[in-house]
Amino acid sequence: MTFKELNLSAPLLRAVQEAGYETPSPIQAAAIPPVLSGRDLMGCAQTGTGKTAAFALPMLDRLTANAPRRKGAIRALILTPTRELALQIGESFEAYGKYLKLRSTVIFGGVGQAPQVEALKKGVDILIACPGRLNDLIGQGFIDLSALEIFVLDEADRMLDMGFIHDVTRILDAIKSRKNLGMFSATISREVMDISWVYQRDPVEITVRADEQNKPDIQQYRIEVERGDKTEITARLLEAGSYERAIAFCNTKNMTDRLSGLLKMRGFSAEAIHGDIQQSVREKTLNRFRRGELRVLVATDVAARGLDIDDVDVVFNYDVPDENEYYVHRIGRTGRAKRHGVAYTLVSTITESMRMDDIEKATKNKVHRLKYEKGTLLDLEEGK
């Protein structure tokens, strides 16, 4: 399958080629034809599968092919839970639409609204938004969605987890015109199904499974270690593996601050990101990490949601995650875009050990067992 066979227009094919994509990912191959023909879509796929292009490419094509319902009106809306995701999607639209005349802008909370309002006043075709700020600006009369043609709900499950359900349904209810609704969700929960039933019309359902072919290549280790040795083993593994870009996950904001401090004391460039750190500071930290100026990003689960950083060499679960799903999300930060990844989970207490047993059972992941004792790393599976 090639992008050309998907009947995308020449300006899009050119942009896709310049982005370096050779073949459509499974979700793109499955979603682009029905979205091009105007069907609603329910896509079960995680970040990292290429889902952004799966909706952005056919959306751009349709907006270009059809005249707007009303001149100057917002024609497409993508609703996404976090600022980071919104910015990434905005960048994708810029890249894919670089040879088209459509204008897009991104709006999110936590920053002053004036520049966003200015951008809106100039007129935009495609709006990428987080629900809170979108509702604010609708309330203030800066946004009119009455001529909307296409609506995409991205990461629907997270949006609901984060308590945005009323914001989302309020927006959906406010749009009276018939629109195309695309939904993406990593998991299809009852609540996600409910939204689909109420607001979608005969959607095409697509599930991208992490099958052998597109399963990320992640070598997973579980290391038994004394609580007090966790930082030492993290530092040793970082050195031993010559990892240039690592993410270490902790369960609490406090622990992320402590761990980044401990790693700095050992001479690593490390920085923490969590919900109590100002968004602008978090953004700066992420950019430094992307540019390779920061070797270790220490994060909570919430802060790391939806991060699109392709070349993370290694993930450390400094704390065993509280939820099985978090484990999958955490280790999924590495092994992306066909690279080999490594994930270490540090297990000290009986509680952590039981949690990890549960994670292994639930996720059916193969995890190699090691033990760190008296400064030595032992392979518990040797000779097995």
In residues, how long is the chain? Answer: 384
The answer to whether 99 contacts ligand AMP (rule: CB under 6 A) is: no
Q: Which is nearer to ligand AMP, 47 or 231 (CB)?
A: 47
Question: Which one among 40, 308, 319, 352 touches ligand AMP, defined by CB under 6 A?
Answer: 308
Both tokens assigned to 251: 């369960």
The answer to whether 48 contacts ligand AMP (rule: CB under 6 A) is: yes
Question: Which one among 52, 80, 104, 196 touches ligand AMP, defined by CB under 6 A?
Answer: 52
Q: From residue 191, give the alpha-carbon distance in Å to each of 64, 143, 165, 197.
A: 33, 27, 9, 10
Q: Which is nearer to ligand AMP, 21 or 221 (CB)?
A: 21
Question: Which one among 8, 31, 32, 53 touches ligand AMP, defined by CB under 6 A?
Answer: 53
Q: CB burial class (10 A; 0-12, 13-18, 19+) of residue 121?
A: exposed
Q: Which stretch binds ligand AMP (CB under 6 A): 29-37, 43-51, 205-213, 311-319?
A: 43-51
Q: Residue 30 CB, nearest distance to ligand AMP (Å)?
A: 12
Question: Which one among 144, 244, 293, 310 touches ligand AMP, defined by CB under 6 A?
Answer: 310
The answer to whether 47 contacts ligand AMP (rule: CB under 6 A) is: yes
Q: Which is nearer to ligand AMP, 62 or 336 (CB)?
A: 336
Other Cβ atoms within 10 Å of 210 Cβ, number? 14
Q: Which residues contact 12 (CB under 8 A, 6 or more apart)?
A: 3, 57, 60, 61, 96, 99, 100
Count CA within 13 A, CB hemisphere, residue 113.
Answer: 16
CA distance 170 to 131: 10
The answer to whether 185 contacts ligand AMP (rule: CB under 6 A) is: no
The phi and psi torsions of 151 (rounded to 5 degrees) equal: -130, 130
Q: Which is nearer to ligand AMP, 307 or 347 (CB)?
A: 307
The answer to whether 133 contacts ligand AMP (rule: CB under 6 A) is: no
Q: Which is nearer to ligand AMP, 11 or 216 (CB)?
A: 216
Buried b (16+ CB within 10 A) or exposed e, 21-32: beebbbbbbbbb
CB 8 within 8 A of CB 28: no
CA distance 286 to 277: 12
Q: Residue 22 CB, nearest distance to ligand AMP (Å)?
A: 6
The answer to whether 50 contacts ligand AMP (rule: CB under 6 A) is: yes
Q: Which is nearer to ligand AMP, 93 or 199 (CB)?
A: 93
Binding site for ligand AMP (CB under 6 A): 21, 24-25, 28, 47-53, 308, 310, 337
